[in-house]
Structure 1
Amino acid sequence: MQRGLSRSSSLPATSELGDALRACRGAFLGVGLMSCMINLLYLTGSFFMLEVYDRVLPSRSVPTLIGLIILAGGLYIAQGVLDLLRGRILVRIGTSLDEAMSARVFQTVVRLPLQSGGRGEGVLPLRDLDNIRSFLSGAGPSALFDLPWLPLYLAICFAFHAMLGLTALVGAVLLVLLTVLTEFMTRSPARQASGLAAQRSELAIASRRNAEVVVAMGMAGRLTRRWAGANASYLAGNQRTSDVAGGLGAVAKVMRMMLQSAVLGVGAYLVIHQEATAGIIIAGSILSARALAPVDLAIANWKGFVAARQSWHRLNGLLRAMPAPTSPMQLQNPSQKLAVENLSVAPPGEPRVTVSEISFVLQAGQGLGIIGPSGSGKSSLLRALVGVWRPVRGHVRLDAAALDQWSSDDLGRHIGYLPQDVELFAGSIAQNICRFDPEAKSDGVIAAARQAGVHELIVTMRDGYDTEIGEHGGVLSAGQAQRIALARALYGDPFLIVLDEPNSNLDTEGDEALTRAVRVARARGAIVIVVAHRPIGIEGVDMLLVLKDGRMQAFGPKETVLAQVLQRPAAAPIKIVSDGGVSKP
């Protein structure tokens, strides 16, 4: 089974999915042995009818008939038990593959936007894994395991009589050719339907995410028409695939029925000419039908096989392109400084550099404010500082260790990050603040909420810290969500706290709480970096960095840099201010 998928997908023998299936080789061997026994037991009906017609009826022996019935009944029961066990083992193989790969695929889905810049495939990799598991758990693999037994049935038909065997062989060849035709005719429509399904899904997700804008600005009708067009294209592509597979499946079914009748006719001809017995007519008919049943079943499940093969190919390619992150040696907790060395940053998947040649050093306890016009690269710089975007050039170091020397989970314990677009997860307020740490202590959660100035707000809610906020934090206002996200950034007393416009949705009370939180964090030795468009946002910092067009225009003590920015003539260049003096940029 695994070899069939790998070869059909033109994939190398070694792959993560292939390794996961190879781990189930014992189960596949068991399925193969069961298929052997099942296909041998499928001969029960043929030989039972042969004995009844050729032995029981001529001898009129009731004891022989009873004995045959008991024997056949026992064999049928054994066949049913083995068939049941085979189906259950295949389901468990699919489940085992999912369990082995689901965490890896989920991590890839999470990391994908950070490498593709949001142009990835969304949750398609998870659906691909579902497709593979569903195929392995269905009837398709059983048909593939039964196909190799077709020559055995044909050989027995030839043993009965050459004409019976030849008739069955012609039917088998026609059905195999029909299977090959199904493959060639469904490959392109299935691929097109998969692409159209992804486009439809992306439109639906984007419309749902921006539901407020869509409704408020009267865009619902136009987007509905776009959805209808995308949906119609998908349905048309899916219909073409289903029509081809269904039509060829119907032809295969008719051919199998015609073949069974043809075998009966040939058998009758042989009996008339006394070249075969009456039992051979029935036995040959049953055998020929059984011989072609796996081919018929394979055609019926071909659509699922094609979908699983495409998913296998696509998912393997993605996993090869995004290798699993390594686990470097755990470093000591950072406690001294943040150093940015000649840092240049570009959005994932984009050649355009948005931040160029940034260098500065912050010591423990310092706070840095970053200001600059829109599009100057402030958010891009922050994403590089917390490690979610890889630098094009240069390094970001914590205590002399570059960020790529840390594993993501270890680094995350030392970083608090509040992005510009706040996103909370379905769950309780406490779970969101503690970053869904199952071992979180209530004291740590409350301490972070108090530092963010949101504790009093939380305890006034109906369920306090256990209040379920719903998907995307839907029960909270924008300001409440931002303050809870600030508490999440402060949870665990991280060494580096990075806040991107943390007061964009805050009122005066929230601004004051933000300033207190920044000062408290600095007092315990944390480094705090704040991007702000309002002066109130940088009250708690002592250093200032000015960005323009992705380049550092000034860096130094806040009062000195602000004096330069406010006093310079409109046409004069901004000078770079550092602790060591003043120089031209």
Structure 2
Amino acid sequence: MKSSTEVHPQLSEARRAMVGSLTAIGLFSGVVNLLMLTGPLFMLQVYDRVLASQSVSTLAALAVLAAGLYGFMALIDAARTRLLVTMGHKFEQRLSRVAFDSTIAETSRPAQGRNAIRDVEQIRSFLSGQGAAALFDMPWMPIYLGLVFALHVWLGIVGILGAVVLLAGAVVTDRIVRRATLSQSEQAGRRARLTEASRRNAETVRALGMQSHLASAWQNVNDRFLQVSARAALAVGLSSSATKVFRLGLQSAILAVAAYLAIHNELSPGSIVAASVIMSRGLQPIETLVGSWRGIVGAGRAWQQLKCTLAGGNETAQLELPDAKSSLTVEGLIVVPPGAKQAALKGVGFGLSVGEALAVIGPTGGGKSTLARALVSAWSASRGTVRLDGVPMDQFRPEDLGRQIGYLPQDVELFEGTIAQNIARFDPDALDENIVAAAMAAGVHELVANLEGGYGAMVGERGAALSGGQRQRIALARALYGDPFLIVLDEPNSNLDSTGEAALNAAIVAAKGRGAIVVVIAHRATVLGAVDKILVMENGQVAAFGSRDDVLQRMRAENQATVREAQPQTAGGVGVMRGAAPTAPQAAAG
């Protein structure tokens, strides 16, 4: 695991790739700021030279020269803007893939409110905006102050005092905005999660009459978001207005001091206007930065979060390892679900050999689905390991590991696309015969062939165009695609009819026959006939593990003993029932 102080290689590469653009932007900024002196110098020459000499030709020459310089400045400033935009977009292009991968990986780690895609977008937005340009203009502020000093020392003193006041205002704004921006980001995340959850479960929301209650909850979250957002916007707005007014006032103050000095013959009339314009231009970057402070703070926070997020990725695999062929071993597995504080699995351990199928049964909340997620690396283990042929899963490259795993989650979701694309896991190089083979292994080929459009039929968002049973059987074909070595099925028959269950059992037997290891989270007892071993989970621990017949026999004996103890007993003429334990099929249904 990488330290949070280390920088992800692609993030470091993206930063290095910006060096050339930053250098060019810095050079262009220097040229632009030098050309900004065109206005003050033109005014100085008009007042001190043209008016004194009454020369129209001199005025015309100066005007033509100024127009040329302004045109050149426009071209250079446009080139700088284009460089900023291009740099921002290239930054996002370089990191978009790793940001997407990291966003998917974050679901397996404790929730930290990070979203690498959003962070990259925020940095790109800042790099392409006026705030970044103002940062390049800031180093020229001392030069402008120096020019004012060159006109007269008192003008320089007034300018420095004004700059100090503006910088102090920027520091105060920074402190206020940072706190408000952090709170705003948290509330925005809560609002987005509630919105997405409500949208995903819209059918349940409408059916159960929950819309008004969820709308009230969303409104409360949204109100808090708007409050902190308004606080941040108000802080920036007030500071920006105060900065603008102060800068304009300072410009007038410079003009007044310059006029006083001109009255006493310490300054020429042209220098009066020149000093005012130079001072205004010198302090303008501060005003721009204050107005863009939310973006600057957000980009800085996004950069730090991006470093931590990408550094948190477990990327220990460097070599292409051979595919697993013989065993699955689980040792001391402890898993804390993302966002939870307590472990859902507490020291789980067992082993399976090639061609074996395991049914995991137990009461609700016993840790069965958590175990399924841990076996396929969907959730990371806090302690312990899951090994394929003795190699920890985190040593495999993700693409190599995914090829060896088939997974059917409890909550089946298909992706918007065709049935063929979903079965093939959206592999653009998938062969038709492999797609059909997976469908036939899942017993769904005939079903798909009879659909309008066949394998090319669109499933809709989240598979909305299909029934629950059809989605589950197509997801089973997806799990079997490519003949994976480890197949984990979480309650695979929850939406199946008798025909679907028969196809499921046949798929499990066929997978065992070709040398796969199958783990089934059993929802119904009908699947137990296709397995070799049973694992009983209770409170996140292994309550029993062994061959199917041994475990079932032990459970029947325990149930019979419990039933005998629970027979009604007379106590003062009142019958007392202690309650019987469930039978083995009932335990599987739990």
Identify whether the pair has TM-score above 0.5, normalized to the shorter chain.
Answer: yes
Residue of structure 2 equivalent to 1:566: 556
Contact 2:480-2:487 at 8 Å conserved across structures: yes
Shift of 1:527: 2.0
Percentage identity across aligned positions? 45
- Is 1:38 the counterpart of 2:32 in the alignment? yes
Q: How far apart in 2 are the matches of 1:392 and 1:310?
A: 27
Secondary structure of the residue aligned to 2:365 is: coil
Letter in 1 for 2:209: G
Residue of structure 1 equivalent to 2:251: 260
Q: How far apart in 2 are the matches of 1:274 and 1:390?
A: 79
Contact 2:347-2:384 at 8 Å conserved across structures: no
- Aligned pairs for 1:286-301 within 5 A: 286-301=277-292
Residue of structure 2 equivalent to 1:514: 504
Residue of structure 1 equivalent to 2:364: 374
Residue of structure 2 equivalent to 1:102: 96
Contact 2:329-2:349 at 8 Å conserved across structures: no
**Structure 2 CA distance for partners of 1:406 and 1:453, relative to 1, 3 Å:** same
- Corresponding residue to 1:330 among 320, 324, 328: 320
**Structure 2 CA distance for partners of 1:46 and 1:507, relative to 1, 3 Å:** same
Letter in 2 for 1:522: K
Contact 2:43-2:273 at 8 Å conserved across structures: yes
Q: How far apart in 1 are the matches of 2:371 and 2:307?
A: 33
Residue of structure 1 equivalent to 2:463: 473
Q: How far apart in 2 are the matches of 1:15 and 1:527?
A: 36
Secondary structure of the residue aligned to 1:562 is: helix
Letter in 2 for 1:84: A
Structure 1 unmatched ranges of 5 or more:
1-10, 574-585
Shift of 1:75: 1.2
| Cα offsets for 1:237-280 (capped at 9, x unmatched) | 11111111111111111112222222333333333333332222
- Corresponding residue to 2:152 among 161, 167, 172: 161
Shift of 1:542: 3.4
Deviates more, 1:62-71 or 1:39-48: 62-71
Residue of structure 1 equivalent to 2:173: 182
Q: How far apart in 2 are the matches of 1:26 and 1:436?
A: 38
Secondary structure of the residue aligned to 1:115 is: coil
Secondary structure of the residue aligned to 2:452 is: coil
- Corresponding residue to 2:310 among 294, 298, 319: 319
Q: How far apart in 1 are the matches of 2:8 and 2:361?
A: 47
Contact 2:108-2:378 at 8 Å conserved across structures: yes
Contact 1:355-1:381 at 8 Å conserved across structures: no
Q: How far apart in 2 are the matches of 1:469 and 1:57?
A: 80
**Structure 2 CA distance for partners of 1:295 and 1:438, relative to 1, 3 Å:** same
- Aligned pairs for 1:378-417 within 5 A: 378-391=368-381, 394-417=384-407
Q: How far apart in 2 are the matches of 1:486 and 1:226?
A: 37
**Structure 2 CA distance for partners of 1:91 and 1:13, relative to 1, 3 Å:** farther
Q: How far apart in 2 are the matches of 1:267 and 1:355?
A: 79
Q: How far apart in 2 are the matches of 1:47 and 1:421?
A: 72
- Is 1:71 the counterpart of 2:65 in the alignment? yes
| Cα offsets for 1:157-213 (capped at 9, x unmatched) | 222223333333332222222222222232222222222222222222222222222
Secondary structure of the residue aligned to 1:114 is: coil
Residue of structure 1 equivalent to 2:414: 424
**Structure 2 CA distance for partners of 1:570 and 1:263, relative to 1, 3 Å:** same
- Corresponding residue to 2:113 among 107, 121, 136: 121
Residue of structure 1 equivalent to 2:574: none
Deviates more, 1:543-552 or 1:27-36: 543-552
Q: How far apart in 2 are the matches of 1:549 and 1:173?
A: 63
Q: How far apart in 2 are the matches of 1:163 and 1:247?
A: 30
Shift of 1:557: 4.0
- Aligned pairs for 1:449-488 within 5 A: 449-488=439-478
Shift of 1:34: 1.1
Residue of structure 2 equivalent to 1:6: none
TM-score by length of 2: 0.88
- Aligned pairs for 1:536-575 within 5 A: 536-571=526-561
Residue of structure 1 equivalent to 2:570: none
**Structure 2 CA distance for partners of 1:373 and 1:170, relative to 1, 3 Å:** closer
Residue of structure 2 equivalent to 1:84: 78
Q: How far apart in 2 are the matches of 1:164 and 1:265?
A: 10
Residue of structure 1 equivalent to 2:269: 278
Q: How far apart in 2 are the matches of 1:15 and 1:563?
A: 54
- Is 1:439 the counterpart of 2:433 in the alignment? no
Deviates more, 1:200-209 or 1:333-342: 333-342
Secondary structure of the residue aligned to 2:530 is: coil
Q: How far apart in 2 are the matches of 1:163 and 1:389?
A: 67
Shift of 1:331: 2.1
Shift of 1:391: 4.4
Shift of 1:379: 2.1
- Is 1:533 the counterpart of 2:533 in the alignment? no
Structure 2 unmatched ranges of 5 or more:
564-590
Q: How far apart in 2 are the matches of 1:365 and 1:498?
A: 14
| Cα offsets for 1:377-399 (capped at 9, x unmatched) | 32233233323344455543322
- Is 1:54 the counterpart of 2:48 in the alignment? yes
